Each structure stands twice: as structure tokens, then as C-alpha cells.
Amino acid sequence: MVDDKRIRLVKTAYVTYFHADLEKSRKFLLDFGLVIAKETEEAIYFKGYGTEPYCYVARRSKSGQSEFGGAAYVVEDRRELERAEQLPDATPIQKLDAPGNGEVVTLCDPEGHHVQLVCGQTENAAPGQPTAPLEKLVVNYEDEKPRLGKFHRFAPGPAPVYRWGHYGVTYSEGGYQTMFDWYTQNLTLTPSDIVYKDKTPITCFFHIDHKEKYTDHHSFFFKPAAPEQKCSVAHSAFEVHDFDVQQLGHDYLVAQGYPLCWGVGRHVLGSQIFDYWFDPSNFILEHYADGDLVNKDTPVTHVQAGPKALAVWGPSVPKVF
């Protein structure tokens, strides 16, 4: 990447939300499968069982309105932060007062969404395990049955979150190209899929560009805001172990009375098994498992918008999508 002037991203770090009712959100996020890393009167840092010190920051809203606070990526080193703080509207490098410490620069995209770039955080040396250890299942197929004399048994409860994997934001009318240029010219984000309405691109899914190295099919996407709606977050997605764990988490959230948004189903773009929920602030959070990986040689797909572009199988697509 010698000639690449973009800020070099490594991976996703965390998302931030401001909640009007922090206590209700706290309970939901625990039921969703996150674990508290640190808690103060004004903020709660939630983590998964991956290496990240935290992956979701829930802050108490001072305005009384629930709002999306932006998302963060890990960058290669401090030199990337030094380059980032030179960008228009960027903050100076600041200390992170959070689990794992580190430093951060905050950018602002053309629609006002905050993008944070972090480095120097202290992470766990290796992924941990949730309270109940998770096993990689041995699957018996119709013509190949390697699981002999052993049984699948599962414990009910929340689906333990491994990490935060991706998110999406919305843009105002006519903002597609401006958003595309900002993200692809400033950050090492590269399209995986472009979705069209007729011949006009409206949605784009981006992966972190590591050239030959494979990365998640998408870490970020944007789509048009609904008419007369202000731009905000579309959803944030958190990876879980596998389909069974995801379904157990689905059943647990149903039993707790939380409103289901959409799921369980299988996506077309990215292939993830998905399960979307409304939190108490009416934000959409997703559990996902079994997503695709891509690299520089993976062709960019071009598809027409519509239900067939969203799911291979699952419930009918809700209006919010």
C-alpha cells in the first residue's frame, strides 16, 4: 500500500449510542449477549468474548433523545492518527478514557456521522470463552456422518456476542456519490456489492481493504434515508458463534418480550444468517453468523434492489428494510 494515501484500517472497534433510558438499554444489551467491561453513572462499556476491550458504548443522553454516536475502526499505528488529524473537520489526537486506553481521532462524514479512528488499545492476547464453552459442531450430512455416538445438547439463554462486525448509516437525497467518495478516498474501504434502483446506485457494502488478505464481506454500508427522515444509523451487527447459538438467543429475546425486527434468515449479500431486533431506544441490532470473506480478487457484485437481494430464506422483508 505504498502509494495508497488513505487512512489504513485494521478492523472494526466499537459503536457508540446515546440512550434516553440507559437502564432499560443496559438490560437489553445484557440479554442480547454482551458483557459489561466498565460501568459509570454516564456510560457503560460492553464487550464480547473476542480480543477487543469493548465493542459497544452505551451513554446516557443529555438531550433526552436517543441518538447514534458513531463507530470506530482500529488503524495500523499512531502515524495513521497523525495523518487523520490533518483531514478537514478532524479532531486532534486525544486520549481514550476507556477500557484498554489508547488514542483516538474523530472524523465527520458528509452527513454528519462520526467516524473514530483508534490505536494503542490494550487487547486480550487471545479470544476468551463465554460462561458456557462453545463447541464447533460436527455435522452429519446425508452422505457423510462423522458424528458417531455423540449428541448435540444446548443450554438456553442469551447468544454470547463475540465482537462487533459491521454497521450501516443512511444518507439524504442525492448524497450517494458524496458519501462514496468520502469513505473510499479517506479510508481503506472498498466496495463488495453495489445495489441499484433501476440504473442508479443507492446502497453500497464495503470491506476493509487488505489486498490479498481476506476480510469480512462488509464492515460498513450506507443506504438512502426514508423520505422526511433524518440521517441516522441503519443497524449495527454483532457476530455470534453459529446458527444454533443464534437461534437460542432469538428464543431467549422472544421470551423476554423484546420486539423482533426481522429474522431468522439467510442474507444474499454476505451470506450471513441474520436476526434483527429493536432495542428499547428503537435502534436495530443484529446477531449474525457464518458470513463471507473477500479480498482484492473478489469481483464486486452489482444487483437490483428488492426483496430477492436481501434474503435467500427467512420471514418477509419488513418495511424498515
State pLDDT tens for residues 182-205.
999 999 999 999 999 999 999 999
| 95, part of any domain | yes
**Any long-range contacts for 32-40 (C-beta under 8 Å, 24+ apart)?**
32/158, 32/159, 32/161, 32/238, 32/249, 32/253, 32/277, 32/279, 32/285, 32/287, 33/158, 33/159, 33/160, 33/161, 33/238, 33/240, 33/249, 33/287, 34/161, 34/238, 35/161, 37/99, 38/98, 38/99
| 250, part of any domain | yes
Q: How many domains does the chain have?
A: 1
What is the domain-level CATH number for residue 250?
3.10.180.10
Q: Could you report the per-residue pLDDT of 65-96, keeping only the tens digit for each? A: 999 999 999 999 999 999 999 999 999 999 99
**Alpha-carbon gap, residue 12 to 239, rounded angstroms:** 12
Cα radius of gyration rounded to whole Å, the chain: 20
Contact assessment for residue 237 and residue 165, using Cβ atoms and an 8 Å cutoff: yes
| 140, part of any domain | no
Give yes or no for residue 146 having a pLDDT over 80.
yes
Q: How confident is the model at residue 2 (pLDDT cuts 50, 70, 90)?
A: low
Q: How confident is the model at residue 320 (pLDDT cuts 50, 70, 90)?
A: confident
Segment 163-171 mean pLDDT? 98
- Domain limits for position 22: 9-125+162-313
Q: Report pTM.
A: 0.95
C-alpha distances in Å from residue 183, one per residue of 108, 256, 309: 11, 38, 23
Q: Could you report the per-residue pLDDT of 169-184, keeping only the tens digit for each? A: 999 999 999 999 999 9
Closest Cα to residue 158, out of 94, 243, 245? 245
| 137, part of any domain | no
Contact assessment for residue 189 and residue 296, using Cβ atoms and an 8 Å cutoff: no
| 19, part of any domain | yes
Give yes or no for residue 311 having a pLDDT over 60.
yes
Q: Where are the beta strands (DSSP E) in the chain?
A: 9-19, 35-39, 43-47, 56-60, 67-75, 94-95, 103-108, 114-119, 163-171, 189-197, 200-208, 215-216, 220-224, 233-239, 260-267, 273-278, 284-289, 293-294, 301-304, 311-313
| 144, part of any domain | no
Cα diameter, the chain: 63
| 154, part of any domain | no
Q: Could you report the per-residue pLDDT of 95-143, keeping only the tens digit for each? A: 999 999 999 999 999 999 999 999 999 998 777 777 777 889 999 999 9
**Alpha-carbon gap, residue 115 to 91, rounded angstroms:** 11
Give yes or no for residue 261 having a pLDDT over 70.
yes
Residue 133 pLDDT? 79
| 240, part of any domain | yes
